[in-house]
Structure 1
Amino acid sequence: MIKEKVSLSQTVRLITWIVIPIIVIFGLLIPIRDFMHATNPTAQTLCGFVILIVLLSLCSIMLYAPKEITLDDSALTLARGKGKLRIKLADIEEVQRYDPRSTGNIRIFGIGGIYGYVGRYYNRDIGYYTSYVGDYSQAFFIRTGKGKKYLLSCNNADRVAEEIKRRLAKR
Structure 2
Amino acid sequence: MKEFQTAKMDDRTKIITIIVLLFLIFFPISSFFFEPPKPMVSMTSFVIMYGVIFISYGFIPKRIVVSYNQILVKNIYGSVVININEIETFDKIEKTGFNLRTFGVGGLFGYFGYFNGRDVWYVTNIHKKVKITLKSGKIYMISPENPDDFVKEVQQRRTEMV
State if a TM-score over 0.5 links the two structures: yes
2: CA distance, partners of 1:50 / 1:22? 11
Task: Give 1:20 deviation, angstroms.
Answer: 0.7
Task: Give 1:85 deviation, angstroms.
Answer: 1.6
Indicate the residue corresponding to 1:46 in structure 2: 41
2: CA distance, partners of 1:132 / 1:5? 13
Tell me, yes or no, if structure 1 residue 141 matches structure 2 residue 138: no
Given the two structures, how large is their TM-score scaled by the length of structure 1? 0.81
Q: Secondary structure at the match of 2:118?
A: strand
Task: Give 1:34 deviation, angstroms.
Answer: 5.0
Give 1:58-97 correspondences, 5 Å limit.
58-97=53-92
Tell me, yes or no, if structure 1 residue 25 matches structure 2 residue 3: no
Q: Which runs of 5+ in 1 are unaligned?
A: none
Task: Give 1:99 deviation, angstroms.
Answer: 3.2
Tell me, yes or no, if structure 1 residue 161 matches structure 2 residue 148: no
Task: Give 1:68 deviation, angstroms.
Answer: 2.6
- Please list the CA deviations of residues 92-126 of structure 1 after superposition, one character each: whole Å capped at 9, or x if unmatched: 2221111324x22111222221111112111xxxx
1: CA distance, partners of 2:78 / 2:72? 10
8 Å CA contact retained: 1:116, 1:135:
yes
Counterpart amino acid of residue 18 in structure 1: I
Task: Give 1:79 deviation, angstroms.
Answer: 2.0
Q: Secondary structure at the match of 2:85?
A: helix
Give the share of equivalent positions with the same residue, in percent: 23
Counterpart amino acid of residue 75 in structure 1: Q
2: CA distance, partners of 1:152 / 1:88? 15
2: CA distance, partners of 1:81 / 1:34? 35
8 Å CA contact retained: 1:34, 1:47:
no
1: CA distance, partners of 2:21 / 2:41? 22
2: CA distance, partners of 1:49 / 1:88? 42
Task: Give 1:168 deviation, angstroms.
Answer: 1.8
Q: Secondary structure at the match of 1:146?
A: coil
Give the aligned CA root-mean-square deviation in angstroms: 2.1
- Please list the CA deviations of residues 135-163 of structure 1 after superposition, one character each: whole Å capped at 9, or x if unmatched: 12211001123332111001111111122
1: CA distance, partners of 2:118 / 2:81? 19
Tell me, yes or no, if structure 1 residue 57 matches structure 2 residue 52: yes
Give 1:7-18 correspondences, 5 Å limit.
7-18=8-19
Q: Which runs of 5+ in 2 are unaligned?
A: none
Q: Secondary structure at the match of 1:62?
A: helix
2: CA distance, partners of 1:25 / 1:52? 13
Aligned pair count reads: 159
